[in-house]
Amino acid sequence: MPGHVIEVKNLYKDYQTAAGKFPVLKEVNLEIDAGDFVAIMGPSGSGKSTFMNILGCLDQPSSGEYMLNDQPVARLQGDRLAKVRNHTIGFVFQGFNLLARSSLLDNVALPLVYAGIDKTERHARARLLLEKVGLANHVNSHPNQISGGQQQRVAIARALINRPSLILADEPTGNLDSKTSEEIMTLFGELNREGITIVLVTHESDIAEHASRQVRFLDGRIVEDTRTSPIAVKGAPHV
């Protein structure tokens, strides 16, 4: 039984600006267990996105440790990092970040292209996931033909396609109205009950209430960490 999905120790991140070194994350420590559902909150500019990007292996910390599934990933480079992003993590963005020119099916299947999986399987799996997020009828549509909430569902399907153990979502409901936001959060809740670890950033406390645990950032530090409900499903991660 592995300990933590995420284990961050003494993490620092500075940005080099014209005015000199600018610290964004300072001495961040965080452990997240498999199956947890964590909401990261905090005012704008407090370093949430920076932290998420490091968790998502899109960015590297200036110093400190980051263990992902007990593997040190803070110093990984290039192809190894790409592999982690492809296999272990599913990232959901505020702006959906779908490829406008590709169909929903191709969008969802895209990570499998980089995983080297053949077309038949890619499409079969993408179809299944589009069904799961309620877009079975839009397989061949393009992102500009569907609503924002639907686009975010496609993005979630894409994040799920490589069966990751961890979903990271940076303000996934930031561009959505409150009703659609609720629907997306319900979807995240369902995924979490299937055993997927979810970490999401949000401004709004009613969104954060869907999570089991709330972590608050302020000025690059974690200032509050409360659990409101127990981890839904312990054990085997999502397959």
Ligand X SMILES: Nc1ncnc2c1ncn2[C@@H]1O[C@H](COP(=O)(O)OP(=O)(O)O)[C@@H](O)[C@H]1O
The size of the chain, in residues, is 239
Instruction: Say which DSSP state 91 is in.
Output: E
Residue 2 contact among other proteins, ligand X, Mg ion, none, beta carbon within 5 to 8 Å by kind: none
**Of residues 2, 10, 15, 177, which one binds ligand X by CB under 6 A?**
15
Residue whose CB is less far from other proteins, 66 or 93: 93
Residue type at 201 in one-letter notation: V
Residue 234 contact among other proteins, ligand X, Mg ion, none, beta carbon within 5 to 8 Å by kind: none
Residue 116 contact among ligand X, Mg ion, other proteins, none, beta carbon within 5 to 8 Å by kind: other proteins
**Of residues 49, 151, 162, 173, which one binds Mg ion by CB under 5 A?**
49
Query: Could you give the CA distance from residue 144 to residue 183 in angstroms, rounded to a whole number?
Result: 20
The reply to whether 58 sits near other proteins by the rule CB under 8 A is yes
The reply to whether 46 sits near Mg ion by the rule CB under 5 A is no
Q: Which of 51, 46, 66, 7 is nearest to 217 (CA)?
A: 46
Q: Which two tokens stand for residue 165?
A: 């153990």
Residue 179 backbone phi and psi in degrees, to 5: -65, -45
Residue whose CB is less far from other proteins, 115 or 218: 115
Residues sharing a CB contact under 8 Å with residue 33, sequence separation 6 or more, in sequence order = 3, 4, 5, 197, 231, 234
Query: Could you give the CA distance from residue 20 to residue 31 in angstroms, rounded to a whole number?
Result: 31
Beta bridge partners of 31: 7
Residue 46 contact among other proteins, Mg ion, ligand X, none, beta carbon within 5 to 8 Å by kind: ligand X
- Residues forming the site for other proteins (CB under 8 A): 53, 56, 58-59, 78-79, 82-83, 85-87, 91, 93, 97-99, 101-102, 110-111, 113-116, 119, 158, 162
- Residues forming the site for ligand X (CB under 6 A): 15, 17, 22, 24, 42, 44-50
- Residues forming the site for Mg ion (CB under 5 A): 49
